[in-house]
Structure 1
């Protein structure tokens, strides 16, 4: 089984979806630790209740991004993970950190990348008048929200939608596709090669495996 470390900043709903899939043996892996950059992150309690090791490593205790990431990297490495999962981890990561975990770190972003990198994605989609929105799972690289996409899921945008409406619709898809991508990785089907993302030894296009409706 693959060893998985999850990084969170908040409620950890995607972390919980992945833990559930592991416990149901839908994923050939085990979440061995959950780390948050905020002591108040509610996901820490959820993980502890499942018997998972938890750590709160506050970035506020460090005088630079580089110093924090070096300590975070050292902490993660104590668990010897095969895969590091960013699940609502609201930190911009340094180049050294991303290079250290290259090819074994995934992130989920609430937009149809390359659209709307960064924050406030739901409101930005509404302000642009988009007819569809969605979520992307991608490998993490040095470019913020710019790593190769593995899988996307689309949701419709309806007239009168609020940001909260879109967020709820997107969250539902997040909890469906993130465990699926983790399963592919843990089954040794998914890899980041020299030519980009490969699934079953076949290169994927720029938007990943498929845009799921």
Structure 2
């Protein structure tokens, strides 16, 4: 299952992880809370309007300091849930090695599809991110998802601690086959996934 990829890795400019400070951690936490409240509130229309004005002021402040991809810390901050990216569920890597990556975290109200169950579309998003972690941990060159298949075994709940492990199944040249499973605190399998990650060629973005 091993393969010498040292030359291939030099062909690509990897996005480097970073450590974020408490300021971004606080901001990301507040933004996640805002997302939850947005789908869990029904205030007077004036409250929506006033709140929108406040958010527009925040956007105006952040627009003063643009940063290109690979420079902005959100999405690269390994010490924050979801790497500090608001689109990603608030999970973090707990174990990482060449053959697999274990993550722990939970979903919240913003991820609900109905009846307090996590939306079926959120689960593939999580696994795609998780598979990317496996690519990096395995020392593979930058890759893209060729396919991702999810089997839903049980309802995935919100606001409870969960665990997911993804591992390398096999390697065939540019192809990295990955499998994963998500479990609850009692060890029940909530979903399973398998996917194919293909190494990018030098001309591919």
TM score, norm. by length of structure 1: 0.28
* Structure number, greater radius of gyration: 2
TM score, norm. by length of structure 2: 0.29
